[in-house]
């Protein structure tokens, strides 16, 4: 039971990362590698703030702001420097490794004995693992509401249009470069926030905790899409979070089957690859009826 | 005498500038577009039709020459800035609409053409009635698909939508870049008729590239023949009315 609750809590907190990645990966259609540097950056900033006794809420907010700066760097390299987006992300990701080491001062910093966002009286009074579920639900609901509001503003619509058809967006007078930068900043802001949350949940920040985060975020998005199919934009955001929880369950099942935890990254990649291939597999194996409960078209 | 809305004077554009491959596309091109002009543009491949449009829209900066909107010099304004007063329909129906956004959302984007997009609610619902009315005047079913993603529309519906988007906010100059070329003959004629109707109704100034000599003569009030980066002939009034497609074809043959 505790394991399941813990998986849901983890899924919710990692869901924030999925939401951030959704903006770049699905709306802008960018393979943004910055993520792998932004996530530990958020974690490092939060942990160092907490070690220095800064208010946990403020420390978490700083993780978001740090993320937006990383997104800004990638966005400027891409739009003004005309560096391909994949390479721009890799450049920022690589440089963030050094920057994160500067922030953390060593490879691993523990939060033992420090106040975190989970130390509030209310959260601490909950049974084990329920704290991350409660906090996760609050954060995910707030994040989805904010994102849904943003996407339904004039600015948000211009942002979506930029990702959907850049040439058209320009021909309607939308400042497409600004939209891309904005999207990357908000996206990486949420990813930094996720890093700050996971670090507090784990009780430490580690320089290498970014490895494989893009796979986890993409898995949340893809699982959400595979399970729920076509949805409205706001519903897709919710699907990402549910996909993130499902991903945790899949990992849980895999581990309970006796696989070694050291193989987790390999397993994550295989799960994602499988989910990405599923639409093709469905077609070739005619699994439609199986997956859609026999609904006829 | 009507006032010019748009003037190109001595426009020169080059490609591969600064290399041994440097080549002029538009060669001291002059064109004055008067208010209400509906000009059809014909010319062989490579004559510079697309370059002319890209120069007007601001996608290409001329190497020399001047572009005036009314009396205002806009030569140095970029394409995004120029969307304030110029709108454009591309040949490819996929180019003019956002496929994952609904018809209504696409129209709403066009309603803000050239304006700064603000961080405030988009107010789509308030516009639905207006969009309903707008799309109803065309009998191709677009009005029943306001909530359909544009990517699910037929090519004809999609191009009609592109055209409506370009004229939703009245532009000072409308550029139609072979906008019916990708459609079947029937749909193509329907869209051309709609084009003529709206251009007249809204008294738009418009340039339309076409490869159909018949359409070039039957639509609009002026026809220009583009050849080798210059305007070979500029036909209007009686001279144009007396012209047949075979006459026009000889223009082309003379060019060879």
Is A14 within the bounds of a domain? yes
Q: Please state, as a whole number, how many other Cβ atoms lie within 10 Å of the Cβ of residue B236.
A: 15
CA A92 vs CA A96, A179, A191: distances in Å: 6, 19, 14
Q: Identify which of A177, A179, A137 has the alpha carbon closest to the alpha carbon of residue A160.
A: A179
Let me know: does A31 contact A210? Beta carbons within 8 Å: no
Q: What is the pLDDT along chain B (256 residues), one digit of tens a residue?
A: 467 899 999 999 998 888 888 888 999 999 999 999 999 999 888 888 999 999 999 999 999 999 999 999 999 999 999 999 999 999 999 999 999 999 999 999 999 998 889 899 998 989 999 999 989 888 788 889 999 999 999 999 999 999 999 999 999 999 999 999 988 999 899 999 999 999 999 999 999 999 888 899 999 999 999 988 899 889 888 888 888 888 877 777 766 5
* Alpha-carbon gap, residue B127 to B124, rounded angstroms: 5
Nearest-by-CA chain B residue for A177: B80
Tell me if residue A294 falls in helix, strand or coil.
coil
pLDDT of residue A246: 95
**pLDDT tens-place string over residues A162-217:** 999 999 999 999 999 999 999 999 999 999 999 999 999 999 999 999 999 999 99
Domain with CATH 3.40.50.300 in chain B: 1-85+172-256
What are the CA-CA distances from residue A181 to residues A32, A63, A74, A86, A193 (Å)? 12, 18, 8, 14, 18
Quote the pLDDT of residue A286: 66
For strands B38-43 and B206-209, give the pairing: parallel
CATH number attached to the domain at B1-85+172-256: 3.40.50.300
Please check the confidence at residue A284 and state whether its pLDDT lies above 90. no
Cβ pair A153:B119 closer than 8 A: yes
Residue A116 located in a structural domain: yes
Residues 6+ apart with CB under 8 A from B176: B88, B89, B163, B195, B206, B207, B208, B209
Report whether pLDDT(A290) > 70: no
A30 CA: distance to closest CA in chain B (Å):
16
Evaluate whether A54 touches A61 at the Cβ level (below 8 Å): no
**In this complex, do B119 and A155 lie within 8 Å of one another by their Cβ atoms?**
yes
B110·A172 Cβ contact <8 A: yes
The H or E element spanning position A203 is none
In a domain, A260, yes or no: no
The reply to whether residue A152 touches residue B121, judged by beta carbons under 8 angstroms, is yes
A82 in contact with chain B, both atoms CB, cutoff 8 A: no
Q: Which of B103, B95, B230, B218 is CA-nearest to residue B157?
A: B103
Instruction: Label the pairing between strands B38-43 and B222-227.
Output: parallel
Whether the per-residue pLDDT at A297 is higher than 50: the answer is: no
The alpha carbon of residue A297 is apart from the nearest alpha carbon of chain B, in Å, by 17
Residue A154 touches partner B, C-beta closer than 8 Å: yes
The number of distinct structural domains making up chain A is 1
CB of A155 less than 8 A from some CB of B: yes
Which chain B residues touch A167 with a CB distance below 8 Å?
90, 95
Distance of CA B15 to the CA centre of its chain: 23
Condensed to tens digits (0 to 9), the pLDDT of residues B17-52 reads: 888 888 889 999 999 999 999 999 998 888 889 999
User: What is the rounded distance in angstroms from the CA atom of residue B23 to the CA atom of residue B217?
Assistant: 32
What is the average pLDDT value for chain A, to the nearest integer? 92
Q: What is the pLDDT of residues A67-125, one digit of tens each?
A: 999 999 999 999 999 999 999 999 999 999 999 999 999 999 999 989 999 888 888 88
Domain that holds residue A149: 2-213
Supply B129's token pair: 């009635």
Q: Is residue A101 in a domain? A: yes
The pLDDT of residue A295 is above 50 = no
3-state class of A138 per DSSP?
helix
Distance CA B84, CA A6 (A): 54
Q: CB-hemisphere CA count at 13 Å for A268?
A: 17
């Amino acid at each position: 039971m505790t394991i399941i609750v813990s998986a849901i809590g983890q899924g919710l907190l990692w869901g924030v990362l999925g939401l951030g990645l959704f903006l770049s990966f699905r709306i802008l259609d960018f393979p943004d590698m910055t993520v792998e540097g932004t996530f530990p950056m958020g974690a490092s900033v939060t942990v160092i703030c907490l070690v220095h006794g800064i208010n946990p809420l403020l420390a978490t907010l700083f993780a978001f702001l740090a993320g937006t700066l990383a997104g800004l760097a990638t966005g400027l390299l891409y739009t003004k420097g005309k560096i391909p987006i994949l390479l721009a992300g890799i450049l920022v990701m690589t440089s963030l490794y050094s920057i994160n080491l500067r922030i953390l001062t060593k490879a691993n910093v523990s939060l033992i004995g420090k106040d975190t966002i989970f130390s509030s009286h209310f959260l601490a009074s909950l049974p084990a693992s329920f704290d991350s579920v409660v906090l996760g639900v609050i954060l995910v609901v707030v994040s989805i509401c904010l994102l849904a509001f943003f996407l339904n503003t004039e600015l948000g619509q211009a942002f979506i249009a930029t990702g959907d058809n850049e040439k058209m967006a320009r021909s309607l007078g939308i400042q497409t470069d600004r939209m891309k930068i904005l999207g990357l900043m908000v996206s990486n802001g949420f990813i930094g926030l996720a890093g700050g949350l996971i670090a507090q949940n784990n009780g430490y920040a580690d320089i290498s905790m970014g490895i494989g985060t893009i796979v986890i975020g993409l898995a949340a998005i893809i699982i959400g899409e595979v399970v729920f199919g076509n949805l409205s934009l706001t519903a897709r955001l919710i699907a990402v979070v549910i996909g993130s929880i499902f991903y945790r369950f899949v990992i849980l099942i895999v581990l309970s089957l006796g696989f070694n935890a050291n193989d987790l990254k390999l397993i994550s990649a295989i799960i994602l690859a499988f989910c990405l291939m599923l639409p093709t597999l469905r077609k070739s194996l005619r699994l439609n009826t199986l997956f859609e409960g026999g609904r006829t078209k | 005498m009507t006032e010019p809305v748009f003037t190109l004077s001595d426009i020169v554009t080059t490609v591969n500038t600064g290399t041994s491959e440097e080549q002029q596309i538009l060669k001291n091109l002059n064109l004055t577009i008067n208010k209400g002009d509906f000009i059809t543009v014909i010319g062989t491949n490579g004559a510079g039709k697309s370059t002319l449009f890209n120069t007007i829209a601001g996608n290409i900066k001329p190497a020399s020459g001047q572009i005036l909107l009314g009396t205002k010099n806009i030569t140095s304004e970029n394409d995004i800035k120029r969307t304030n007063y110029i709108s454009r329909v591309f040949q490819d129906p996929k180019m003019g609409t956002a496929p994952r956004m609904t018809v209504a959302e696409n129209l709403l984007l066009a309603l803000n053409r050239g304006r700064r997009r603000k961080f405030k609610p988009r107010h789509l619902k308030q516009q639905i009635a207006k969009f309903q009315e707008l799309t109803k005047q065309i009998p191709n079913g677009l009005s029943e698909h306001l909530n359909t993603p544009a990517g699910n529309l037929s090519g004809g519906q999609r191009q009609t939508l592109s055209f409506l988007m370009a004229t939703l906010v009245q532009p000072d100059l409308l550029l139609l870049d072979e906008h019916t070329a990708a459609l079947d003959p029937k749909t193509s004629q329907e869209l051309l008729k709609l084009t003529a109707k709206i251009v007249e109704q809204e008294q738009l100034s418009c340039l339309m590239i076409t490869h159909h000599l018949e359409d070039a003569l039957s639509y609009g009030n002026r026809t220009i023949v583009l050849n080798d980066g210059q305007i070979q002939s500029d036909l209007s009034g009686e001279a144009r009315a007396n012209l047949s497609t075979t006459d026009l074809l000889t223009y082309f043959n003379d060019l060879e």
